[in-house]
Every structure is written in C-alpha cells, then in structure tokens.
Amino acid sequence: MTDCIRYRLCYDASMRRNIAALAAVLALCPTVALAAGHEHHERWYQESWCASRGEMEVVMPDQSRADCANATHVVEFDFGPKWAESIGQALNYGVQAGKRPGIVLILEKPSHVRHLRRVLRVRAKYNLPLEIWAVDKDGQDLQLPKVRR
C-alpha cells in the first residue's frame, strides 16, 4: 500500500470520528443555548400566548412574518432587552396588515421591568398606537406598571 492510500484511509477514519463528535456536540446545542441565555425560546412564549388569541407566524405583504395576528392586532414578541427593536417591528406589521400593532415583551427577570417601562414611556411620549402586553419567564401575563411621560 502506498503512503497516499494509507494517508487517505487514515484521513477518512479520522474525519468520520470528527464528524460523529461534531454531530454529538450540535445535538446538545439547543440545551446549551437555553441554559446560557433564556428560560425558553421565543417561540415557546408565542405558542403559549397566541394559542387562544390568534394565529402564529402570519406572512405580511412584504414577506416579513408577524409573530401573532388576529382580526384586530398584529403582534411582535421579544425579550425585554430587545424592547426598542420590538417597537419598529410591531409598527411595520401594523402598516403592512392595516391592523393595530402590538408587542408582547418577555420579562425573564424582575430587573427586566425597566425595559417594559421604556416601551411604555416611548409609546406615551410619541402617542404611538401600540398595544403592549408583558409575560414573565413562565409565560404568565403581567400587569403593566404606571409610567410617567
């Protein structure tokens, strides 16, 4: 057997072991991502909230997807720290669908209430036609705090 053939056989066996190891690591990634970041994926909150309030992943005329929509609202879901992004997305969905835009802000920690206050303050200051809801890490609806402009 020449060195080239021997090398090729060794390389193939080594590559198969590496691919198997990589596949095992990637299979664990969703678990690692949850442990490192959020209690649940955003979709979990969407499914929980939207089940009795509308339809999930509704395609808008510009091909964007509203997280949830019903006869009167189109709703964007986001984690507390992404509060500013949620405002723009919800307003775009409202324009696209001709419905009232809404935001469900996911507050996984008590300290994330500050993000909710920011959304409420911006809505009040600029008189934005946004409906706001908030849920905790367990997907339970939260009461909105009173906010000054």
Q: Averaging pLDDT over each range in 19-28, 83-92, 138-147, which range is the top one?
A: 83-92
pLDDT of residue 13: 56
pLDDT of residue 3: 53
Asked whether residue 54 falls in the same domain as residue 101, the answer is yes
**Cα–Cα distance, 131 to 100 (Å, whole number):** 7
Asked whether residue 21 falls in the same domain as residue 62, the answer is no
Q: Please indicate, yes or no, if residue 8 is contained in any of the structural domains.
A: yes
Q: Coil, strand, or helix at residue 64?
A: coil
Q: Which residues face 133 on adjacent strands? A: 104
Q: Coil, strand, or helix at residue 65?
A: strand
Q: Please indicate, yes or no, if residue 147 is contained in any of the structural domains.
A: no
Q: Answer left, alpha or beta for residue 139, where phi above 0 means left and psi between -120 and 50 means alpha.
A: left
Q: Please indicate, yes or no, if residue 91 is contained in any of the structural domains.
A: yes
Query: What is the DSSP pairing of strand 73-79 with strand 100-107?
Result: parallel
Q: Please indicate, yes or no, if residue 14 is contained in any of the structural domains.
A: yes
Q: Which residues face 84 on adjacent strands? A: none
pLDDT tens by residue, 85-121: 999 999 999 999 999 999 999 999 999 999 999 999 9
Report whether 77 contacts 106 (CB < 8 A).
Answer: yes
Asked whether residue 52 falls in the same domain as residue 103, the answer is yes
Residue type, 43: R
Asked whether residue 48 falls in the same domain as residue 89, the answer is yes
pLDDT of residue 23: 40
Domain holding 121, by residue range, is 42-142
Report whether 109 contacts 118 (CB < 8 A).
Answer: no
User: Could you tell me which of 119, 91, 118, 108 has the C-alpha nearest to residue 142?
Assistant: 108
Query: What is the DSSP pairing of strand 131-136 with strand 73-79?
Result: unpaired
Asked whether residue 122 falls in the same domain as residue 62, the answer is yes
pLDDT of residue 21: 43
Asked whether residue 50 falls in the same domain as residue 4, the answer is no
pLDDT tens by residue, 51-79: 989 998 889 999 999 999 999 999 999 99
Asked whether residue 99 falls in the same domain as residue 47, the answer is yes
Asked whether residue 4 falls in the same domain as residue 53, the answer is no
The fraction of the chain above a pLDDT of 70, given in percent, is 74
pLDDT of residue 117: 96
